[in-house]
A and B are shown apart, each in its own frame.
Chain A
Amino acid sequence: MSSPPAPSDAADGLPLPLRPIAALGRTVLALLQGAGSLALFGLEGLSHLLRPPFYGRQFLAAFLEFAFYSLPVVALTAIFSGMVIALQSYTGFARFNAQSAIASIVVLSVVRELGPVLAGLMVAGRLGAAMAAELGTMRVTDQIDALTTLSTNPMKYLVAPRLFAGIVALPLLVAVADLLGVMGGFLVATVKLGFNAHAYASDTIGFVQTSDVVVGLAKAAVFGFLIALMGCYNGYRSKGGAQGVGSATTSAVVSASILVLAFDFILTEMFFSR
Protein backbone atom coordinates (compact mmCIF):
# COMPACT_ATOMS: atom_id res chain seq x y z
CA MET A 1 0.00 0.00 0.00
CA SER A 2 1.37 3.41 -0.93
CA SER A 3 2.21 5.94 1.75
CA PRO A 4 -0.16 8.90 2.23
CA PRO A 5 0.70 12.09 0.30
CA ALA A 6 2.99 14.51 2.13
CA PRO A 7 1.71 17.97 3.05
CA SER A 8 2.54 20.61 0.46
CA ASP A 9 4.98 22.48 2.74
CA ALA A 10 6.97 19.33 3.27
CA ALA A 11 6.84 18.73 -0.47
CA ASP A 12 8.65 22.05 -0.96
CA GLY A 13 11.67 20.37 0.58
CA LEU A 14 12.41 23.47 2.67
CA PRO A 15 13.79 23.32 6.19
CA LEU A 16 11.18 24.06 8.81
CA PRO A 17 12.42 27.60 9.72
CA LEU A 18 12.17 28.71 6.08
CA ARG A 19 8.62 27.56 5.50
CA PRO A 20 6.93 30.67 6.98
CA ILE A 21 9.10 32.82 4.73
CA ALA A 22 8.06 30.73 1.71
CA ALA A 23 4.41 31.07 2.75
CA LEU A 24 4.85 34.83 3.11
CA GLY A 25 6.46 34.98 -0.33
CA ARG A 26 3.56 33.08 -1.88
CA THR A 27 1.09 35.43 -0.21
CA VAL A 28 2.92 38.52 -1.49
CA LEU A 29 3.10 37.07 -4.99
CA ALA A 30 -0.61 36.25 -4.89
CA LEU A 31 -1.38 39.81 -3.74
CA LEU A 32 0.73 41.31 -6.50
CA GLN A 33 -0.90 39.02 -9.05
CA GLY A 34 -4.33 40.07 -7.79
CA ALA A 35 -3.42 43.76 -7.92
CA GLY A 36 -2.07 43.38 -11.46
CA SER A 37 -5.14 41.49 -12.56
CA LEU A 38 -7.41 44.16 -11.06
CA ALA A 39 -5.43 46.97 -12.71
CA LEU A 40 -5.60 45.27 -16.12
CA PHE A 41 -9.33 44.66 -15.68
CA GLY A 42 -9.89 48.33 -14.80
CA LEU A 43 -7.79 49.59 -17.69
CA GLU A 44 -9.54 47.29 -20.14
CA GLY A 45 -12.90 48.48 -18.85
CA LEU A 46 -11.88 52.12 -19.21
CA SER A 47 -10.47 51.53 -22.69
CA HIS A 48 -13.90 50.33 -23.84
CA LEU A 49 -15.30 53.74 -22.86
CA LEU A 50 -13.24 55.23 -25.68
CA ARG A 51 -13.95 52.64 -28.38
CA PRO A 52 -17.35 52.03 -30.01
CA PRO A 53 -19.82 50.44 -29.92
CA PHE A 54 -21.28 52.14 -26.83
CA TYR A 55 -24.23 50.76 -24.88
CA GLY A 56 -26.37 53.74 -23.86
CA ARG A 57 -29.20 51.64 -22.42
CA GLN A 58 -26.80 49.76 -20.19
CA PHE A 59 -25.27 53.03 -19.03
CA LEU A 60 -28.66 54.55 -18.28
CA ALA A 61 -29.73 51.49 -16.28
CA ALA A 62 -26.51 51.58 -14.24
CA PHE A 63 -26.77 55.36 -13.83
CA LEU A 64 -30.31 55.06 -12.47
CA GLU A 65 -29.16 52.41 -10.00
CA PHE A 66 -26.33 54.64 -8.83
CA ALA A 67 -27.91 58.05 -8.84
CA PHE A 68 -31.64 57.57 -8.40
CA TYR A 69 -32.21 54.37 -6.44
CA SER A 70 -29.31 55.10 -4.06
CA LEU A 71 -30.62 58.61 -3.34
CA PRO A 72 -32.90 57.80 -0.37
CA VAL A 73 -30.25 55.96 1.64
CA VAL A 74 -27.55 58.52 0.85
CA ALA A 75 -29.90 61.43 1.59
CA LEU A 76 -30.90 60.03 4.98
CA THR A 77 -27.26 59.32 5.86
CA ALA A 78 -26.20 62.84 4.88
CA ILE A 79 -28.98 64.70 6.67
CA PHE A 80 -28.53 62.82 9.95
CA SER A 81 -24.74 63.16 9.75
CA GLY A 82 -25.06 66.95 9.32
CA MET A 83 -27.42 67.10 12.29
CA VAL A 84 -25.08 65.04 14.49
CA ILE A 85 -22.04 67.15 13.59
CA ALA A 86 -23.92 70.31 14.55
CA LEU A 87 -24.94 68.81 17.89
CA GLN A 88 -21.52 67.35 18.70
CA SER A 89 -19.56 70.42 17.69
CA TYR A 90 -21.92 72.62 19.72
CA THR A 91 -21.34 70.59 22.91
CA GLY A 92 -17.58 70.70 22.34
CA PHE A 93 -17.21 74.30 21.17
CA ALA A 94 -19.51 75.73 23.85
CA ARG A 95 -16.74 75.01 26.37
CA PHE A 96 -14.53 77.53 24.58
CA ASN A 97 -17.28 79.99 23.63
CA ALA A 98 -16.59 79.12 19.99
CA GLN A 99 -20.13 78.26 18.93
CA SER A 100 -19.86 80.61 15.97
CA ALA A 101 -17.50 78.09 14.31
CA ILE A 102 -20.23 75.46 14.08
CA ALA A 103 -21.44 76.53 10.64
CA SER A 104 -17.93 76.29 9.22
CA ILE A 105 -17.28 72.94 10.92
CA VAL A 106 -20.48 71.46 9.54
CA VAL A 107 -19.99 72.68 5.99
CA LEU A 108 -16.32 71.71 5.81
CA SER A 109 -16.86 68.27 7.37
CA VAL A 110 -19.74 67.50 5.06
CA VAL A 111 -18.37 68.90 1.81
CA ARG A 112 -14.78 67.75 2.16
CA GLU A 113 -15.18 64.41 3.92
CA LEU A 114 -18.50 63.09 5.11
CA GLY A 115 -20.45 63.70 1.93
CA PRO A 116 -18.12 61.74 -0.37
CA VAL A 117 -17.04 59.11 2.16
CA LEU A 118 -20.44 58.28 3.62
CA ALA A 119 -22.09 58.29 0.21
CA GLY A 120 -19.25 56.10 -1.07
CA LEU A 121 -19.61 53.62 1.78
CA MET A 122 -23.39 53.46 1.50
CA VAL A 123 -23.25 52.97 -2.27
CA ALA A 124 -20.44 50.40 -1.88
CA GLY A 125 -22.70 48.40 0.42
CA ARG A 126 -25.73 48.76 -1.78
CA LEU A 127 -24.45 48.70 -5.35
CA GLY A 128 -21.09 46.96 -4.98
CA ALA A 129 -22.96 43.96 -3.65
CA ALA A 130 -25.69 44.19 -6.28
CA MET A 131 -23.22 44.42 -9.17
CA ALA A 132 -21.11 41.54 -7.91
CA ALA A 133 -24.19 39.38 -7.39
CA GLU A 134 -25.63 40.21 -10.81
CA LEU A 135 -22.42 39.65 -12.77
CA GLY A 136 -21.51 36.66 -10.62
CA THR A 137 -24.84 35.02 -11.35
CA MET A 138 -24.42 35.79 -15.03
CA ARG A 139 -20.97 34.18 -14.90
CA VAL A 140 -22.01 30.94 -13.19
CA THR A 141 -25.12 30.55 -15.37
CA ASP A 142 -23.12 31.00 -18.61
CA GLN A 143 -24.84 34.30 -19.47
CA ILE A 144 -21.48 36.04 -19.89
CA ASP A 145 -20.30 33.31 -22.27
CA ALA A 146 -23.63 33.62 -24.09
CA LEU A 147 -22.94 37.33 -24.65
CA THR A 148 -19.65 36.45 -26.32
CA THR A 149 -21.36 33.94 -28.61
CA LEU A 150 -23.87 36.64 -29.57
CA SER A 151 -21.29 39.09 -30.94
CA THR A 152 -21.22 41.19 -27.79
CA ASN A 153 -18.07 41.89 -25.82
CA PRO A 154 -19.03 41.40 -22.14
CA MET A 155 -16.46 43.96 -20.96
CA LYS A 156 -18.01 46.53 -23.27
CA TYR A 157 -21.62 45.58 -22.50
CA LEU A 158 -21.46 44.89 -18.77
CA VAL A 159 -18.37 46.51 -17.29
CA ALA A 160 -17.67 49.75 -19.18
CA PRO A 161 -21.20 51.24 -18.73
CA ARG A 162 -21.10 50.49 -14.98
CA LEU A 163 -17.66 52.09 -14.58
CA PHE A 164 -18.82 55.20 -16.44
CA ALA A 165 -22.06 55.35 -14.45
CA GLY A 166 -20.06 55.20 -11.22
CA ILE A 167 -17.75 58.02 -12.31
CA VAL A 168 -20.63 60.27 -13.41
CA ALA A 169 -23.34 59.43 -10.88
CA LEU A 170 -21.55 59.47 -7.56
CA PRO A 171 -20.50 63.16 -7.80
CA LEU A 172 -24.15 64.07 -8.49
CA LEU A 173 -25.23 61.98 -5.53
CA VAL A 174 -22.59 63.61 -3.34
CA ALA A 175 -23.65 67.08 -4.46
CA VAL A 176 -27.13 66.28 -3.16
CA ALA A 177 -25.65 64.71 -0.01
CA ASP A 178 -23.59 67.88 0.59
CA LEU A 179 -26.69 70.08 0.37
CA LEU A 180 -28.72 67.82 2.64
CA GLY A 181 -25.89 67.44 5.17
CA VAL A 182 -25.48 71.18 5.45
CA MET A 183 -29.23 71.54 5.67
CA GLY A 184 -29.30 69.01 8.53
CA GLY A 185 -26.75 71.08 10.43
CA PHE A 186 -28.73 74.23 9.67
CA LEU A 187 -31.95 72.72 11.02
CA VAL A 188 -30.37 71.61 14.29
CA ALA A 189 -28.52 74.90 14.72
CA THR A 190 -31.55 77.10 14.08
CA VAL A 191 -34.39 75.01 15.53
CA LYS A 192 -32.71 73.35 18.51
CA LEU A 193 -29.67 75.45 19.32
CA GLY A 194 -31.21 78.84 18.71
CA PHE A 195 -28.84 80.18 16.01
CA ASN A 196 -29.96 83.01 13.78
CA ALA A 197 -30.86 81.45 10.43
CA HIS A 198 -29.52 84.31 8.33
CA ALA A 199 -26.21 84.47 10.22
CA TYR A 200 -25.75 80.70 10.07
CA ALA A 201 -26.40 80.66 6.32
CA SER A 202 -24.03 83.59 5.76
CA ASP A 203 -21.29 81.85 7.76
CA THR A 204 -21.78 78.65 5.78
CA ILE A 205 -21.67 80.34 2.37
CA GLY A 206 -18.86 82.67 3.37
CA PHE A 207 -16.60 79.97 4.72
CA VAL A 208 -16.85 77.22 2.11
CA GLN A 209 -14.62 77.63 -0.95
CA THR A 210 -15.14 76.39 -4.46
CA SER A 211 -12.10 74.13 -4.15
CA ASP A 212 -13.66 72.37 -1.13
CA VAL A 213 -16.70 71.45 -3.17
CA VAL A 214 -14.78 70.57 -6.34
CA VAL A 215 -12.29 68.31 -4.55
CA GLY A 216 -15.14 66.63 -2.67
CA LEU A 217 -16.88 65.90 -5.97
CA ALA A 218 -13.61 64.72 -7.55
CA LYS A 219 -13.20 62.30 -4.65
CA ALA A 220 -16.73 61.09 -5.32
CA ALA A 221 -15.87 60.38 -8.97
CA VAL A 222 -12.89 58.28 -7.87
CA PHE A 223 -15.00 56.46 -5.29
CA GLY A 224 -17.71 55.80 -7.88
CA PHE A 225 -15.14 54.26 -10.19
CA LEU A 226 -13.67 52.12 -7.39
CA ILE A 227 -17.08 50.84 -6.26
CA ALA A 228 -18.11 49.89 -9.80
CA LEU A 229 -14.68 48.37 -10.46
CA MET A 230 -14.75 46.15 -7.39
CA GLY A 231 -18.36 45.11 -7.99
CA CYS A 232 -17.68 44.23 -11.63
CA TYR A 233 -14.27 42.62 -11.01
CA ASN A 234 -15.43 40.33 -8.24
CA GLY A 235 -18.66 39.39 -10.02
CA TYR A 236 -17.06 38.90 -13.43
CA ARG A 237 -14.44 36.54 -12.05
CA SER A 238 -16.65 34.62 -9.64
CA LYS A 239 -16.87 30.86 -9.94
CA GLY A 240 -18.18 27.89 -8.03
CA GLY A 241 -21.93 28.39 -8.07
CA ALA A 242 -23.97 30.06 -5.34
CA GLN A 243 -21.13 29.97 -2.81
CA GLY A 244 -18.79 31.64 -5.32
CA VAL A 245 -21.33 34.39 -5.98
CA GLY A 246 -21.72 34.91 -2.23
CA SER A 247 -17.96 35.21 -1.78
CA ALA A 248 -17.73 37.61 -4.72
CA THR A 249 -20.44 39.79 -3.18
CA THR A 250 -18.70 39.92 0.18
CA SER A 251 -15.32 40.64 -1.44
CA ALA A 252 -16.82 43.42 -3.55
CA VAL A 253 -18.30 45.24 -0.55
CA VAL A 254 -15.29 44.79 1.72
CA SER A 255 -12.69 45.69 -0.89
CA ALA A 256 -14.68 48.67 -2.22
CA SER A 257 -15.17 50.02 1.33
CA ILE A 258 -11.47 49.69 2.16
CA LEU A 259 -10.46 51.28 -1.14
CA VAL A 260 -12.86 54.20 -0.56
CA LEU A 261 -11.26 54.89 2.82
CA ALA A 262 -7.71 54.40 1.54
CA PHE A 263 -8.22 56.65 -1.47
CA ASP A 264 -9.94 59.21 0.75
CA PHE A 265 -6.71 59.50 2.70
CA ILE A 266 -4.57 59.61 -0.45
CA LEU A 267 -6.74 62.29 -2.11
CA THR A 268 -7.01 64.34 1.08
CA GLU A 269 -3.23 64.22 1.39
CA MET A 270 -2.91 65.30 -2.24
CA PHE A 271 -5.41 68.17 -2.23
CA PHE A 272 -5.81 69.47 1.30
CA SER A 273 -2.50 68.91 3.07
CA ARG A 274 -0.60 72.17 3.25
Chain B
Amino acid sequence: MSGTVPKIRIRGLHKAFGSKKVLDGVDLDVMPETSMVVIGGSGSGKSVLLRCILGLIEPDSGSIEIDGVDVLALGERARDEMRQCIGMLFQNAALFDSLTVWENVAFGLLAKGRRPRHGAEPRLTRAQARVHAGKVLEQVGLAASVGDLSPSELSGGMQKRVGLARAIAARPEILFFDEPTTGLDPIMGAVIDGLIVDCVQNLGSTAIAITHDMASATRIGTQAAMLYRGRIVWRGAAAELLHSGNDMVDQFTHGRREGPISMELRK
Protein backbone atom coordinates (compact mmCIF):
# COMPACT_ATOMS: atom_id res chain seq x y z
CA MET B 1 0.00 0.00 0.00
CA SER B 2 1.42 3.37 -0.97
CA GLY B 3 2.18 5.70 1.89
CA THR B 4 0.39 8.57 0.13
CA VAL B 5 -3.04 6.93 0.05
CA PRO B 6 -4.88 7.20 3.36
CA LYS B 7 -5.75 3.90 4.97
CA ILE B 8 -8.93 5.56 6.22
CA ARG B 9 -10.40 8.62 4.50
CA ILE B 10 -13.50 10.32 5.88
CA ARG B 11 -15.27 13.13 4.10
CA GLY B 12 -18.27 15.22 5.10
CA LEU B 13 -19.55 12.73 7.68
CA HIS B 14 -22.84 13.78 9.26
CA LYS B 15 -24.85 12.04 11.92
CA ALA B 16 -27.71 13.38 13.98
CA PHE B 17 -29.89 11.72 16.61
CA GLY B 18 -33.20 13.50 16.35
CA SER B 19 -32.44 17.21 16.45
CA LYS B 20 -29.02 16.64 18.07
CA LYS B 21 -26.20 16.92 15.51
CA VAL B 22 -23.37 14.68 16.69
CA LEU B 23 -21.17 14.65 13.60
CA ASP B 24 -21.39 17.78 11.48
CA GLY B 25 -19.14 17.27 8.50
CA VAL B 26 -16.11 15.35 9.77
CA ASP B 27 -13.13 15.20 7.41
CA LEU B 28 -10.23 13.01 8.50
CA ASP B 29 -7.37 11.13 6.85
CA VAL B 30 -5.45 8.40 8.65
CA MET B 31 -2.31 7.30 6.85
CA PRO B 32 -1.15 3.67 6.87
CA GLU B 33 0.77 2.47 9.92
CA THR B 34 0.11 5.66 11.87
CA SER B 35 -1.69 5.99 15.18
CA MET B 36 -4.29 8.73 15.09
CA VAL B 37 -5.59 9.94 18.44
CA VAL B 38 -8.92 11.74 18.37
CA ILE B 39 -9.49 13.89 21.42
CA GLY B 40 -12.59 15.76 22.43
CA GLY B 41 -14.94 16.29 25.33
CA SER B 42 -17.68 13.94 26.45
CA GLY B 43 -20.49 13.92 23.91
CA SER B 44 -18.34 15.46 21.17
CA GLY B 45 -19.02 12.51 18.85
CA LYS B 46 -15.78 10.53 19.19
CA SER B 47 -17.46 7.18 19.86
CA VAL B 48 -20.07 7.81 17.16
CA LEU B 49 -17.25 8.46 14.69
CA LEU B 50 -15.63 5.09 15.46
CA ARG B 51 -18.99 3.31 15.31
CA CYS B 52 -19.72 4.86 11.94
CA ILE B 53 -16.40 3.59 10.57
CA LEU B 54 -17.14 0.12 11.98
CA GLY B 55 -20.63 0.14 10.48
CA LEU B 56 -22.32 -0.14 13.88
CA ILE B 57 -24.06 3.20 13.23
CA GLU B 58 -25.23 4.32 9.80
CA PRO B 59 -24.22 7.95 9.12
CA ASP B 60 -26.74 10.34 7.57
CA SER B 61 -24.35 11.43 4.81
CA GLY B 62 -20.68 11.55 3.86
CA SER B 63 -18.16 8.93 2.85
CA ILE B 64 -15.82 6.56 4.67
CA GLU B 65 -13.12 4.94 2.56
CA ILE B 66 -10.87 2.12 3.74
CA ASP B 67 -8.03 1.37 1.31
CA GLY B 68 -9.84 3.56 -1.23
CA VAL B 69 -13.13 1.60 -1.00
CA ASP B 70 -16.23 3.48 0.11
CA VAL B 71 -17.51 1.16 2.84
CA LEU B 72 -20.90 2.89 3.01
CA ALA B 73 -21.59 1.85 -0.57
CA LEU B 74 -20.82 -1.84 0.13
CA GLY B 75 -23.42 -4.56 0.65
CA GLU B 76 -23.78 -6.20 4.06
CA ARG B 77 -21.61 -9.19 3.14
CA ALA B 78 -18.79 -7.06 1.73
CA ARG B 79 -18.98 -4.85 4.80
CA ASP B 80 -18.67 -7.89 7.03
CA GLU B 81 -15.52 -8.85 5.13
CA MET B 82 -14.16 -5.32 5.44
CA ARG B 83 -14.88 -5.38 9.17
CA GLN B 84 -12.70 -8.47 9.52
CA CYS B 85 -9.60 -6.36 8.95
CA ILE B 86 -10.50 -4.23 11.99
CA GLY B 87 -9.90 -5.02 15.65
CA MET B 88 -11.65 -3.04 18.35
CA LEU B 89 -10.93 -2.51 22.04
CA PHE B 90 -14.13 -1.25 23.63
CA GLN B 91 -14.20 1.23 26.48
CA ASN B 92 -15.24 -1.37 29.07
CA ALA B 93 -13.55 -4.22 27.16
CA ALA B 94 -17.03 -5.71 26.35
CA LEU B 95 -15.90 -9.26 27.15
CA PHE B 96 -18.53 -11.98 26.77
CA ASP B 97 -19.53 -13.00 30.31
CA SER B 98 -20.75 -16.42 29.29
CA LEU B 99 -17.40 -17.46 27.79
CA THR B 100 -14.00 -18.12 29.30
CA VAL B 101 -11.13 -15.72 28.72
CA TRP B 102 -9.51 -17.87 26.03
CA GLU B 103 -12.85 -18.24 24.21
CA ASN B 104 -13.17 -14.46 24.29
CA VAL B 105 -9.70 -13.99 22.84
CA ALA B 106 -10.23 -16.58 20.13
CA PHE B 107 -13.84 -15.65 19.39
CA GLY B 108 -13.08 -13.93 16.10
CA LEU B 109 -10.84 -16.77 14.94
CA LEU B 110 -13.60 -19.31 15.57
CA ALA B 111 -16.37 -17.14 14.09
CA LYS B 112 -18.35 -19.13 11.54
CA GLY B 113 -18.98 -16.07 9.41
CA ARG B 114 -15.26 -15.29 9.12
CA ARG B 115 -13.52 -15.27 5.74
CA PRO B 116 -9.94 -14.26 6.55
CA ARG B 117 -8.28 -11.68 4.31
CA HIS B 118 -4.71 -11.99 3.10
CA GLY B 119 -2.24 -11.69 5.98
CA ALA B 120 -4.83 -12.31 8.68
CA GLU B 121 -4.93 -15.38 10.92
CA PRO B 122 -6.80 -18.23 9.18
CA ARG B 123 -9.90 -19.77 10.74
CA LEU B 124 -8.77 -22.25 13.40
CA THR B 125 -10.10 -25.35 15.09
CA ARG B 126 -10.99 -24.99 18.78
CA ALA B 127 -7.80 -26.78 19.84
CA GLN B 128 -5.63 -24.54 17.64
CA ALA B 129 -7.53 -21.45 18.78
CA ARG B 130 -6.92 -22.30 22.42
CA VAL B 131 -3.16 -22.53 21.87
CA HIS B 132 -3.19 -19.31 19.83
CA ALA B 133 -5.21 -17.52 22.54
CA GLY B 134 -2.58 -18.51 25.11
CA LYS B 135 0.16 -16.96 22.96
CA VAL B 136 -1.79 -13.75 22.45
CA LEU B 137 -2.51 -13.51 26.17
CA GLU B 138 1.24 -13.75 26.81
CA GLN B 139 1.77 -10.90 24.31
CA VAL B 140 -0.39 -8.65 26.50
CA GLY B 141 1.38 -9.71 29.67
CA LEU B 142 -1.02 -12.36 30.96
CA ALA B 143 -0.23 -15.99 31.67
CA ALA B 144 -1.83 -18.50 29.32
CA SER B 145 -3.48 -20.08 32.39
CA VAL B 146 -5.65 -16.95 32.71
CA GLY B 147 -7.45 -18.28 29.65
CA ASP B 148 -9.41 -20.73 31.78
CA LEU B 149 -10.87 -18.01 34.01
CA SER B 150 -14.15 -16.21 33.52
CA PRO B 151 -14.04 -12.47 32.69
CA SER B 152 -15.81 -11.69 35.98
CA GLU B 153 -12.81 -13.10 37.87
CA LEU B 154 -10.47 -10.48 36.36
CA SER B 155 -9.58 -6.96 37.53
CA GLY B 156 -10.37 -3.95 35.31
CA GLY B 157 -6.78 -3.79 34.04
CA MET B 158 -6.75 -7.50 33.22
CA GLN B 159 -10.08 -7.18 31.41
CA LYS B 160 -8.58 -4.39 29.30
CA ARG B 161 -5.62 -6.61 28.46
CA VAL B 162 -7.93 -9.44 27.47
CA GLY B 163 -9.95 -6.99 25.35
CA LEU B 164 -6.70 -5.92 23.70
CA ALA B 165 -5.73 -9.56 23.14
CA ARG B 166 -9.11 -10.19 21.48
CA ALA B 167 -8.66 -7.12 19.28
CA ILE B 168 -5.22 -8.21 18.00
CA ALA B 169 -5.79 -11.98 17.89
CA ALA B 170 -6.64 -12.05 14.18
CA ARG B 171 -3.73 -9.70 13.27
CA PRO B 172 -6.00 -6.93 11.96
CA GLU B 173 -4.79 -4.21 9.60
CA ILE B 174 -6.69 -1.56 11.55
CA LEU B 175 -7.11 -1.20 15.31
CA PHE B 176 -9.61 1.00 17.12
CA PHE B 177 -9.31 1.90 20.79
CA ASP B 178 -12.26 3.48 22.57
CA GLU B 179 -11.07 5.23 25.73
CA PRO B 180 -8.45 2.55 26.46
CA THR B 181 -7.43 3.89 29.89
CA THR B 182 -10.82 4.85 31.31
CA GLY B 183 -11.31 3.45 34.79
CA LEU B 184 -7.68 2.44 35.24
CA ASP B 185 -5.15 3.83 37.70
CA PRO B 186 -2.33 5.90 36.11
CA ILE B 187 0.22 3.10 36.27
CA MET B 188 -2.11 0.53 34.75
CA GLY B 189 -3.13 3.15 32.15
CA ALA B 190 0.52 3.56 31.17
CA VAL B 191 0.96 -0.22 31.00
CA ILE B 192 -2.07 -0.57 28.68
CA ASP B 193 -0.82 2.32 26.52
CA GLY B 194 2.58 0.63 26.25
CA LEU B 195 0.95 -2.62 25.20
CA ILE B 196 -1.14 -0.79 22.61
CA VAL B 197 1.94 0.86 21.12
CA ASP B 198 3.80 -2.47 21.04
CA CYS B 199 0.88 -4.27 19.41
CA VAL B 200 0.35 -1.60 16.77
CA GLN B 201 4.06 -1.56 15.91
CA ASN B 202 4.44 -5.33 15.86
CA LEU B 203 1.40 -5.81 13.64
CA GLY B 204 2.17 -2.81 11.42
CA SER B 205 -1.45 -1.78 11.90
CA THR B 206 -3.12 1.56 11.43
CA ALA B 207 -4.76 2.71 14.64
CA ILE B 208 -7.38 5.19 15.76
CA ALA B 209 -7.72 5.83 19.48
CA ILE B 210 -10.29 8.10 21.01
CA THR B 211 -9.60 9.46 24.44
CA HIS B 212 -9.76 12.48 26.67
CA ASP B 213 -6.81 11.28 28.72
CA MET B 214 -3.97 13.56 27.56
CA ALA B 215 -1.19 11.41 28.96
CA SER B 216 -2.61 8.44 27.08
CA ALA B 217 -3.08 10.48 23.89
CA THR B 218 0.56 11.53 23.76
CA ARG B 219 1.78 8.02 24.54
CA ILE B 220 -0.37 6.21 21.96
CA GLY B 221 -0.57 8.66 19.09
CA THR B 222 1.72 9.71 16.30
CA GLN B 223 -0.98 11.98 14.86
CA ALA B 224 -3.82 13.72 16.67
CA ALA B 225 -7.05 15.51 15.86
CA MET B 226 -9.57 17.32 18.00
CA LEU B 227 -13.30 16.90 17.57
CA TYR B 228 -15.55 19.69 18.80
CA ARG B 229 -19.25 20.09 18.07
CA GLY B 230 -19.11 17.36 15.44
CA ARG B 231 -16.21 18.82 13.46
CA ILE B 232 -12.46 18.33 13.39
CA VAL B 233 -11.15 21.67 14.64
CA TRP B 234 -7.44 20.83 14.76
CA ARG B 235 -5.06 18.18 13.55
CA GLY B 236 -1.33 17.77 13.87
CA ALA B 237 1.39 15.65 15.43
CA ALA B 238 0.44 14.05 18.74
CA ALA B 239 3.68 15.41 20.22
CA GLU B 240 2.34 18.95 19.66
CA LEU B 241 -0.88 18.37 21.60
CA LEU B 242 0.27 20.15 24.73
CA HIS B 243 1.58 23.20 22.86
CA SER B 244 -0.46 23.26 19.68
CA GLY B 245 -1.10 27.01 19.52
CA ASN B 246 -4.80 26.28 18.97
CA ASP B 247 -6.93 27.91 21.67
CA MET B 248 -9.45 25.07 21.80
CA VAL B 249 -6.81 22.36 21.99
CA ASP B 250 -4.85 24.31 24.59
CA GLN B 251 -7.95 24.81 26.74
CA PHE B 252 -8.83 21.13 26.45
CA THR B 253 -5.38 19.66 26.99
CA HIS B 254 -4.64 21.93 29.95
CA GLY B 255 -8.11 21.56 31.42
CA ARG B 256 -8.88 25.29 31.64
CA ARG B 257 -12.35 26.49 32.55
CA GLU B 258 -11.98 29.68 30.55
CA GLY B 259 -11.60 29.57 26.79
CA PRO B 260 -13.42 29.18 23.49
CA ILE B 261 -14.97 25.85 24.54
CA SER B 262 -18.09 26.36 26.62
CA MET B 263 -19.61 23.50 28.57
CA GLU B 264 -23.16 22.83 27.47
CA LEU B 265 -24.99 21.85 30.63
CA ARG B 266 -28.30 21.51 28.84
CA LYS B 267 -29.36 22.05 25.26
State yes or no: do A and B come from one complex. yes
Q: Does A196 contact B (CB under 8 A)?
A: no
CB-CB under 8 A from A210, the residues of chain B are none
Q: Does B92 contact A (CB under 8 A)?
A: yes
Q: Please tell me if the beta carbons of B111 and A152 are within 8 angstroms of each other in the complex.
A: yes
Q: Please tell me if the beta carbons of B83 and A146 are within 8 angstroms of each other in the complex.
A: no
Q: Please tell me if the beta carbons of B96 and A143 are within 8 angstroms of each other in the complex.
A: yes
Nearest to B116 among chain A residues (CB) is A151
Q: Does A148 contact B (CB under 8 A)?
A: yes
Max chain A Cβ within 10 angstroms of own Cβ: one of B92, B111, B114 = B111
CB-CB under 8 A from B177, the residues of chain A are none
B266 to chain A, nearest CB (A): 12
> Chain A 137-171 against B: per-residue CB contact (8 Å), 1 yes, 0 no?
11001110110111111001000000000000000
B237 to chain A, nearest CB (A): 29
B57 to chain A, nearest CB (A): 9
Within 8 A of B (CB), among A53-109: 53, 55
* Cα separation A5 to B166 with both chains bound (whole Å): 49
Q: Assuming the A-B contacts A149-B83, A151-B80, are A142 and B108 also in contact, with contact meaning beta carbons closer than 8 angstroms in the complex?
A: no
CB-CB under 8 A from A143, the residues of chain B are 94-97
Chain A contact-residue range equals 10 to 19
Determine which of B55, B91, B92, B107 lies in contact with A150 in the assembled complex, contact meaning CB atoms within 8 Å.
Answer: B107
* Cα separation A167 to B255 with both chains bound (whole Å): 57
Nearest to A53 among chain B residues (CB) is B112
CB-CB under 8 A from B113, the residues of chain A are 53, 151-153, 156
CB-CB under 8 A from B108, the residues of chain A are 150-151
Q: Does B64 contact A (CB under 8 A)?
A: no
* Cα separation A137 to B94 with both chains bound (whole Å): 10
CB-CB under 8 A from A137, the residues of chain B are 97
Q: Assuming the A-B contacts A151-B80, A151-B83, A151-B84, are A146 and B111 also in contact, with contact meaning beta carbons closer than 8 angstroms in the complex?
A: no
CB-CB under 8 A from B96, the residues of chain A are 138, 143, 146
Q: Please tell me if the beta carbons of B111 and A151 are within 8 angstroms of each other in the complex.
A: yes
Nearest to B176 among chain A residues (CB) is A149
CB-CB under 8 A from A146, the residues of chain B are 88, 90, 94, 96
Max chain B Cβ within 10 angstroms of own Cβ: one of A55, A142, A145, A151 = A151
Nearest to A156 among chain B residues (CB) is B113
Q: Please tell me if the beta carbons of A148 and B92 are within 8 angstroms of each other in the complex.
A: no
* Cα separation A132 to B47 with both chains bound (whole Å): 25
Chain B contact-residue range equals 20 to 34
CB-CB under 8 A from B92, the residues of chain A are 141-142
* Cα separation A231 to B189 with both chains bound (whole Å): 38
Q: Please tell me if the beta carbons of A148 and B56 are within 8 angstroms of each other in the complex.
A: yes
> Chain B 92-108 against A: per-residue CB contact (8 Å), 1 yes, 0 no?
10111100000000011
* Cα separation A138 to B97 with both chains bound (whole Å): 9
Q: Please tell me if the beta carbons of A55 and B56 are within 8 angstroms of each other in the complex.
A: no
CB-CB under 8 A from A53, the residues of chain B are 112-113
CB-CB under 8 A from A150, the residues of chain B are 107-108, 111, 166
> Chain B 62-98 against A: per-residue CB contact (8 Å), 1 yes, 0 no?
0000000000000000001001101110111011110
Q: Please tell me if the beta carbons of A145 and B83 are within 8 angstroms of each other in the complex.
A: no
> Chain B 39-66 against A: per-residue CB contact (8 Å), 1 yes, 0 no?
0000000000001001110000000000
* Cα separation A142 to B166 with both chains bound (whole Å): 14
Q: Please tell me if the beta carbons of A152 and B107 are within 8 angstroms of each other in the complex.
A: yes
A142 to chain B, nearest CB (A): 4
Nearest to B86 among chain A residues (CB) is A149
A188 to chain B, nearest CB (A): 42
Q: Please tell me if the beta carbons of A55 and B112 are within 8 angstroms of each other in the complex.
A: yes
Q: Assuming the A-B contacts A145-B51, A145-B56, A146-B88, are A151 and B114 also in contact, with contact meaning beta carbons closer than 8 angstroms in the complex?
A: yes
* Cα separation A181 to B183 with both chains bound (whole Å): 54
CB-CB under 8 A from B51, the residues of chain A are 145
CB-CB under 8 A from B83, the residues of chain A are 148-149, 151
> Chain A 111-131 against B: per-residue CB contact (8 Å), 1 yes, 0 no?
000000000000000000000
Max chain A Cβ within 10 angstroms of own Cβ: one of B84, B87, B108 = B108
CB-CB under 8 A from B56, the residues of chain A are 145, 148-149
29 pairs from A and B in contact (CB 8 Å cutoff): A52-B112, A53-B112, A53-B113, A55-B112, A137-B97, A138-B96, A141-B94, A142-B91, A143-B94, A143-B95, A143-B96, A143-B97, A145-B51, A145-B56, A145-B90, A146-B96, A148-B55, A148-B56, A149-B54, A150-B108, A150-B111, A151-B80, A151-B83, A151-B84, A151-B108, A151-B113, A152-B111, A152-B112, A153-B113
Extra 13 A-B pairs, beta carbons < 8 Å, given A150-B111, A151-B108, A151-B111: A55-B112, A137-B97, A141-B92, A142-B90, A143-B95, A143-B97, A145-B51, A145-B54, A146-B88, A148-B55, A149-B86, A151-B83, A156-B113
Closest 6 CB pairs of A and B: A53-B112, A142-B94, A151-B111, A150-B108, A146-B94, A151-B114
